[in-house]
Amino acid sequence: MLFHVEMQVRIPPTLDPALAERLKQEERAVAQALQRSGVWRHLWRLVGCYANVSIFDVESPAQLHDILSTLPLFPFMEVTVRALCRHPSSIIDDENSNRPINT
Amino acid sequence: MLFHVEMQVRIPPTLDPALAERLKQEERAVAQALQRSGVWRHLWRLVGCYANVSIFDVESPAQLHDILSTLPLFPFMEVTVRALCRHPSSIIDDENSNRPINT
Amino acid sequence: MLFHVEMQVRIPPTLDPALAERLKQEERAVAQALQRSGVWRHLWRLVGCYANVSIFDVESPAQLHDILSTLPLFPFMEVTVRALCRHPSSIIDDENSNRPINT
Amino acid sequence: MLFHVEMQVRIPPTLDPALAERLKQEERAVAQALQRSGVWRHLWRLVGCYANVSIFDVESPAQLHDILSTLPLFPFMEVTVRALCRHPSSIIDDENSNRPINT
Amino acid sequence: MLFHVEMQVRIPPTLDPALAERLKQEERAVAQALQRSGVWRHLWRLVGCYANVSIFDVESPAQLHDILSTLPLFPFMEVTVRALCRHPSSIIDDENSNRPINT
Amino acid sequence: MLFHVEMQVRIPPTLDPALAERLKQEERAVAQALQRSGVWRHLWRLVGCYANVSIFDVESPAQLHDILSTLPLFPFMEVTVRALCRHPSSIIDDENSNRPINT
Amino acid sequence: MLFHVEMQVRIPPTLDPALAERLKQEERAVAQALQRSGVWRHLWRLVGCYANVSIFDVESPAQLHDILSTLPLFPFMEVTVRALCRHPSSIIDDENSNRPINT
Amino acid sequence: MLFHVEMQVRIPPTLDPALAERLKQEERAVAQALQRSGVWRHLWRLVGCYANVSIFDVESPAQLHDILSTLPLFPFMEVTVRALCRHPSSIIDDENSNRPINT
Amino acid sequence: MLFHVEMQVRIPPTLDPALAERLKQEERAVAQALQRSGVWRHLWRLVGCYANVSIFDVESPAQLHDILSTLPLFPFMEVTVRALCRHPSSIIDDENSNRPINT
Amino acid sequence: MLFHVEMQVRIPPTLDPALAERLKQEERAVAQALQRSGVWRHLWRLVGCYANVSIFDVESPAQLHDILSTLPLFPFMEVTVRALCRHPSSIIDDENSNRPINT
């Protein structure tokens, strides 16, 4: 099932820069592994912001929470989660698939 | 280029039901044509709302405005547009492509 | 899976009173059937408001949307949906169960 | 009587990690004791947030305030309290009971 | 127990003036009866607004909802309810009493 | 004349605990003296919050400002002031009196 | 005593234009009489808005409410009232006077 | 030309008290000089707040910005500026004058 | 002097379409005349909205109000005005000029 | 293509003043170079604020993000980006040109 997730990152200026850098590297590794697994289906940067818009494809809300709450930068994120479903005008017949009907 | 668009539809209760129905049918046809052309890349329903979250892939902001402002239900929509770009942790090397690098 | 749903009802004063009454009766019947089926697990009135707080236990976000968007009063509701999961301090070991562990 | 309570936790990054951990453990113990006593009737995690939604069943508003204001993490919480009552479409005849009428 | 209630009245300009006047007279009668019974303990006008701030002393949240939701102007009100309790610095030892300790 | 005052207290976690405790004791003493004098007519705790709702009966807005701005915890408060007057449906004929007409 | 008042006027498009015009003329006459009496001490237009910012010098909050609530356009206004007092850095020694000390 | 300016002061608790005091004294001196020159035409305290409402009479927006941005407490202020003009119902024929027409 | 103006247009669905069309044509004519005169210096459409962002170069706030409040669509606009001045990092030495210094 | 960008700068009071000054100088140099290149087309100060309103003319949203996210003061900015396009009433026939048609 799909969830629309926005993550706004606010790293406090008092955080040790080396720690901040390490957390960012870890965050990147986790994000890429989750994208490769198909769980983190889309990841876009919001222009001008230290924030992203993402689409997650998970087994359950519990799995989504486990993923989000263990992200290395989670303590510095404001996260907004909204549940998605298939739109009646969508040309895709599987709410979890990106492949158009006519292909 | 990609834009994140949210459309909240509020059809006034005084609108003639037949007209409302016709506008919804026209909206559906336009939305499906734009999806088939690749411009309206994603279209999801927000659970519990008469609203959608969409990703558009357009040539310019002007093209996006032309599309949105001529949607049959546009007069009854509250629209929010945000520009997207590639996220540095994305595994996709083309901001406009959905195909992962490792495939 | 569980979702927290708030429904604020705003029936326009121009709605025909007989129609409003009929819709309320239908809404009541649907709500009670869904409670009996276990899908609409909790339903509370917010004191002083024409609004409720509810907990739904559904198979998928899509099922939740189908239920909410076909409620008789849906056209007059402002609905807010938030996904829930088990709290780590909960004494209940099944996120979908109300029965405490120690019983 | 029932109250709907939301608790958003924001532990400042300057708090000593050992103290933070101890407070979380104490919070957990208090929350579980209150659940076992039936006062903290429901406790859910909001997906993607360091926050919960809870239902309390108390003798009075004063008892609720005593409970909330002495939670170990209270100094780091933003708390929202709303009074609940039985919904006229509820199939439960006792506002404080979870047992459906037809069982 | 005490609740702090704010009522903002917005009578739609399309309401029949005679009906509006009758509802206001009925509201006044109900409000005065509830004040005499001690349930509607305080009633103040907010300067410059068609709104009031009130303190209710009720047996339960359910009683408060019954009172508010049957006020003649309730369909045209936006109501905000907040639970009160005794303040630790109050000189009054009974949360429901206005009589100071030292009298 | 009457004013409705809300005070939200936010003591920064970096404040010396001994100083915080002293300020709270001083605040309490001032609040009780002002209650005894009749100026701070009502003082309630908002359930679940480190905040109060108060009614002040003062000679002038200037007196109210002098009182509020010299409260020991004022530097840590967010204060909201709203002017009150007699409600036309009130059964009390003196806006400054709590004694009902019929007693 | 002084109050800062903002009035945002929203005349509904369904109001009879002749009635709207008459109300505006009456409003103007009342506003000018109150200015001449010294009660409506300042009246400014907010640039680009059908709104004003005003300073009233009244005997009491009750008098202010009587004035505002009987303005001809009051049913179509959103009014915000805030109490003022002398600023400690003001060069004027009477909070109600505009005449500087050194003149 | 006239501008309506609100200044909310938030001095961080970590600021050196001696520095804070010196800045307040300097602010006071600047504010009084600008009042004497006629540029800072009105200065009122908002009751219960560390904030003021002011009316400035300046040659240009640029002059207003120069004044505001060099106030000693400017780094700790949240400032809101709104342009004013003569209200059509004002009895004063010069938007920059306080003297009524009929005197 | 320069002002930043945003205009959000909301034409009520009950407005006669012929009148709406005539007002739009008149608005267009006025907007173009003001652009030619140099007063309405910039006019942009916000993508996806029936709204614009504009820069006006006027003699005074009063002139700006006269222009905005007489626009044919003004009764259906929500207008936000903010004063601008030269930015210290701007390469243009005249706040009212678009021509760069180095040309 | 054009984007409307607002930047609100909030330098934390704990930042080393020498570092803050250096960042401001670097920001200024970058801003001026981008103005000379034509990318940062307009830059205005919002009166009374440590904030600017800017118009950028970029090749893509990605270019805009690269520019904004590498500004020296970006870590201390709250940035709002909105896409612009030609307004149908504009007298300029190229959305990227400032030169009026009739010159």
What digits encode the pLDDT tens for the residues J70-92? 999 999 999 999 999 999 999 98
- The partner residue sitting opposite B49, judged by closest CB among C12, C62, C79, is C79
What are the residues of chain E with a beta carbon less than 8 Å away from any beta carbon of chain G? 13-14, 45, 47-50
- Which residues in J lie closer than 8 A to residue I90 (C-beta atoms)? 35, 43-44
- Which residues in G lie closer than 8 A to residue F83 (C-beta atoms)? 3, 61, 64, 81, 83
One pLDDT digit (tens) per residue for chain I, 103 residues: 999 999 999 999 889 999 999 999 999 999 999 999 999 999 999 999 999 999 999 999 999 999 999 999 999 999 999 999 999 999 987 555 444 444 3
Chains touching chain D through at least 3 C-beta pairs below 8 angstroms are A, C, E, F
φ, ψ for residue H52, nearest 5 deg: -135, 160
What are the residues of chain D with a beta carbon less than 8 Å away from any beta carbon of chain F? 3, 5, 12, 14-15, 61-62, 64-65, 68-69, 75-76, 79-81
CA gyration radius for chain F?
15
Burial (CB < 10 A; 0-12, 13-18, 19+), residue H50, is middle
Taking only the tens place, the pLDDT of each residue in G22-54 is 999 999 999 999 999 999 999 999 999 999 999
Instruction: Name the closest residue on chain B to residue A2, using Cα atoms.
Output: B44
Interface test with G, best of E10, E47, E50, E76 (most G CBs within 10 A): E47
Q: What is the count of residue pairs from G and H with beta carbons less than 8 Å apart?
A: 86
- The partner residue sitting opposite I13, judged by closest CB among B15, B61, B81, is B15
How far F45 CA lies from chain D's nearest CA (Å)?
Answer: 9
Q: Which residue has 């009100």 as its token pair?
A: E77
Q: What is the count of residue pairs from B and C with beta carbons less than 8 Å apart?
A: 25
Instruction: Name the closest residue on chain D to residue F48, using Cα atoms.
Output: D65
Residue H47 tokens read as: 């009751």
pLDDT value of residue J92: 85
pLDDT value of residue F100: 43
Going by pLDDT thresholds of 50, 70 and 90, the confidence category of residue H97 is: very low
How far B48 CA lies from chain C's nearest CA (Å)?
Answer: 5
Please report which helix (H) or strand (E) contains residue D95, including its range.
none
* CB contact (8 A) between residue G43 and residue H100: no
How far I82 CA lies from chain G's nearest CA (Å)?
Answer: 9
- The partner residue sitting opposite G65, judged by closest CB among E13, E14, E48, is E48
* CB contact (8 A) between residue I60 and residue H86: no
Taking only the tens place, the pLDDT of each residue in H74-84 is 999 999 999 99
How far C46 CA lies from chain A's nearest CA (Å)?
Answer: 23
Please give the average per-residue pLDDT across B27-43, as a whole number.
Answer: 97
- The partner residue sitting opposite C61, judged by closest CB among A1, A62, A65, is A1
How far F18 CA lies from chain E's nearest CA (Å)?
Answer: 19
Beta strands (DSSP E) in chain A are 2-9, 40-46, 51-57, 77-86
Residue I66 tokens read as: 């006269």
- Which residues in E lie closer than 8 A to residue D84 (C-beta atoms)? 61
Residue J55 tokens read as: 């118009």
Please give the average per-residue pLDDT across G8-29, as a whole number.
Answer: 95
pLDDT score of J96 more than 80? no
One pLDDT digit (tens) per residue for chain D, 103 residues: 999 999 999 999 889 999 999 999 999 999 999 999 999 999 999 999 999 999 999 999 999 999 999 999 999 999 999 999 999 999 987 555 444 444 3
pLDDT value of residue G13: 85
Rounded-to-integer distance, Cα H3 and Cα G8, Å: 18
Going by pLDDT thresholds of 50, 70 and 90, the confidence category of residue J18 is: very high
Rounded-to-integer distance, Cα I14 and Cα I75, Å: 14
- The partner residue sitting opposite B65, judged by closest CB among I13, I14, I47, is I47
Interface predicted TM-score (ipTM): 0.90
Give residue A60's identity as a one-letter amino acid code: S
How far F84 CA lies from chain E's nearest CA (Å)?
Answer: 5
Mean pLDDT score across all residues of chain H: 92
Angle at C5 between CA C3 and CA C10, to 5 degrees: 165
pLDDT score of A100 more than 90? no
Residue closest to A84 by CA, chosen among B73, B31, C65: C65
Interface test with I, best of G47, G50, G78 (most I CBs within 10 A): G47
* CB contact (8 A) between residue F48 and residue D5: yes
- Which residues in B lie closer than 8 A to residue A52 (C-beta atoms)? 87
Query: Is the separation of the CB atoms in A41 and A99 below 8 Å?
Result: no
Rounded-to-integer distance, Cα C42 and Cα H89, Å: 56
How far B28 CA lies from chain A's nearest CA (Å)?
Answer: 5
Instruction: Name the closest residue on chain H to residue I64, using Cα atoms.
Output: H85
Instruction: Name the closest residue on chain E to residue G63, using Cα atoms.
Output: E47
Angle at B2 between CA A74 and CA A72, to 5 degrees: 10
pLDDT score of E97 more than 70? no
pLDDT value of residue J13: 85
* CB contact (8 A) between residue C86 and residue D27: no
What are the residues of chain E with a beta carbon less than 8 Å away from any beta carbon of chain F? 2, 4, 27-28, 31-32, 35-36, 42-48, 52-53, 55, 82-91, 98, 100, 102
pLDDT value of residue H92: 85
If one compares C92 and B59, the residue with the highest pLDDT of the two is: B59
Q: Is there contact between G and D if contact means ≥3 C-beta pairs under 8 Å?
A: no
Torsion sign over Cα F57, F60, F62, F63? negative
Provide the phi-psi class of F27: left if phi over 0, else alpha when psi is between -120 and 50, else beta. alpha
pLDDT score of H101 more than 50? no
Query: Was domain B1-6+40-79 assigned CATH 3.20.20.30?
Result: no
Q: Is there contact between H and E if contact means ≥3 C-beta pairs under 8 Å?
A: no
Taking only the tens place, the pLDDT of each residue in H56-72 is 999 999 999 999 999 99
Going by pLDDT thresholds of 50, 70 and 90, the confidence category of residue H95 is: low
* CB contact (8 A) between residue D44 and residue C86: yes
Taking only the tens place, the pLDDT of each residue in C20-75 is 999 999 999 999 999 999 999 999 999 999 999 999 999 999 999 999 999 999 99
Residue closest to H44 by CA, chosen among J38, D26, G26, G94: G94
- The partner residue sitting opposite G79, judged by closest CB among E13, E14, E48, is E48
Residue closest to J96 by CA, chosen among J39, J45, J52, J53: J39
Global pTM value: 0.93
Q: Is there contact between G and H if contact means ≥3 C-beta pairs under 8 Å?
A: yes
Q: Is there contact between J and I if contact means ≥3 C-beta pairs under 8 Å?
A: yes
- Which residues in D lie closer than 8 A to residue E86 (C-beta atoms)? 62
Instruction: Name the closest residue on chain I to residue G9, using Cα atoms.
Output: I75
Please give the average per-residue pLDDT across F27-49, as a whole number.
Answer: 97
Rounded-to-10 torsion of CA C51, C57, C59, C60: 40
pLDDT value of residue A13: 85
- Which residues in H lie closer than 8 A to residue I3 (C-beta atoms)? 61, 83
Rounded-to-integer distance, Cα C65 and Cα C3, Å: 11
